[in-house]
Structure formats: C-alpha cells, structure tokens
Structure 1
Amino acid sequence: MTRIRELLTHPAAEPAPDAAELATLVARWPWFAPVRTLHAAAGGGADARLELLAPWRAESSLKAAPVDLRALVSLSSDDVIDRFLREEDLRIVAGEGEPESEVLTEAQLDDEDEVVSEELAGIYLAQGLRDKAIAIYRKLSLLNPEKSVYFAELIDKIEKKQ
C-alpha cells in the first residue's frame, strides 16, 4: 500500500513503475481507479472499466499534464493578467448605441432619503427609541396605505406604553 501512496502522490517520481508492477497492483485492487489510471497511462492503452465509468466521474488528475511550478512563481499577477488579455481579447467594451452610464456599487441616498422598514422600527423599539420608531411607522403608513391601519395600531400601542 505504501508503493501505491508513493505512485499517487508523486506520479512523475523516479523510478517510474513498470507495467508489470502496475498490473500486479491492478490485480490486487481491481476496484481502485487511480491504480487503473496509472496502469493505463504506463501501458499506453485504455482501461475498459475506467472507460465504462468515465461519464459518471470527473477526469483523473493523474492524466493532467504536470504543472511547471517555477513558471507559476516567477510571474506576477500583472504579468498573468497581461498574458491572458494578449492570448484572448476578452476586454469588455461598450457596443455602439449602448448608453454609457456609470455603474453604481453603492446605494446613493440623499439627505432627504431615509431608509424606512419595519425591521428598523423594531430595532429602534428594542433600543428604547420610541420616538424614532413612531416616526418610521408613520412614514411606512404613508408609503403603504393598504397597511395604514396596522401601522396606526402599532403607533397607538407604543404611545400607550410611554
């Protein structure tokens, strides 16, 4: 089992496993897909069981090309972005006839605009700020006339508690 662990964690390590050793491992553990993948890669052929299960599982990382770590470390993030943009021109450019408007990342509220919600009124009540809660309920009553009776009852309860 130690040899399998070595083969799976360092597939490019020397000495490379020979086909006979891998065939022995496949015979001993026929259900273990990583050993079958190594055996298929070493033998140059396809494994029938792996091909049968291929549609239901992801591609094995043992089949992936080795990554050159020195090349990855030597590049800065700006180099990677520049190379990406050179290889495929994926810049986002506004098409003709499209309106050019600024994309807002935060809500812009004027001093006149105030955020009002039942949750905020409840928070004010929990903090003991009854006047602020009543003011919010009055604004909500104006904004939502269909719930004005509900808000009037809440305002009345708050005022009676004072």
Structure 2
Amino acid sequence: MDSVRDYLVSPCEASQPSAEELAAALDRYAWFFPLHVAAERISGGSDPFVSLLAPWRGESSLQRRTVEADALTHLTSEEVIDRFLKEEDLRIVADDTAPDAEVRTTPDLDDEDELVSEELAAIYLSQGLRDEAVAIYRKLSLLNPEKSIYFAELIEKTEKQ
C-alpha cells in the first residue's frame, strides 16, 4: 500500500506499484479517482470510471507525460528555436505598411563634407567662425565614433567661448 501512495504523490520519482497492490487499493478505495487514473496509466487500458468523470475534471498530473531532463539539456539553442517555431507558427514577419527605405548606419556625406579635419576646425576658430568649427567637430565625431567623447568636449568648449 505504501508503494501505491508514494506513486500517487510523485509518479515521476517513485517506482510503479505492482498490479496486486494496485488492485488491492482499488478494492478498498474504489471511489478514489487518482487510483483509477494510476491503474489506467500502468495497465495501458481504459478505465470506465475515468472515462465517466473525465468531462467534468481537469487533466490529472498522473496522466501527463514525464519530461526527461537530459533530453532538454542536450538541445542546442537552434534546436530549441526550431522546436518552438514548429509547435506554433510564431514567425516574425515584416509589416506590409513598413517603409521600403534602407536603414543606413553610416552618415551620408557630400563631396564638400568629406573635407573635414581638426586643422580646418582650428582655422575656423582662429577666424572666429565658431558655428562652422562646431559643425566640423560634429562631422568628425560621426566619422570617428571612438573619439566621440573627445569631440563632444571640443564642441562644448567651443560653444562656451
């Protein structure tokens, strides 16, 4: 009787009870629904008591398939994604109303804009043309993102003069 109780408490961890133990428990507690579910699972047949009450009850934890932890941990990330997409078709598709314009990650510079340097900005500053010098520093910041902090400090210093 203890093996039947242990199996009902945690069917994944406990060993299955013998057919005699299960039959004895069913004779004594014929009204106990989880015993009928366990008998149905162990024998592989159908139990009329379970069939009768199934429409009014939720799924029993004894009827669920056991999950093998090893099978889940040996999957690669690609296999997990593929399995997820096969179960439900949840693919991300582009919106029909989305603009067809290309997304650019580099600035669009004209031929005139390509002639930028720190020396040119210094010349503009010496001539008193602060706005032009700030524009040059901003362009240099876009062309050299690794030095953007340096150019931001120069822009701030130039604007304060």
TM-score, normalised via structure 1 length: 0.48
Q: Which has the larger radius of gyration?
A: 2
TM-score, normalised via structure 2 length: 0.48
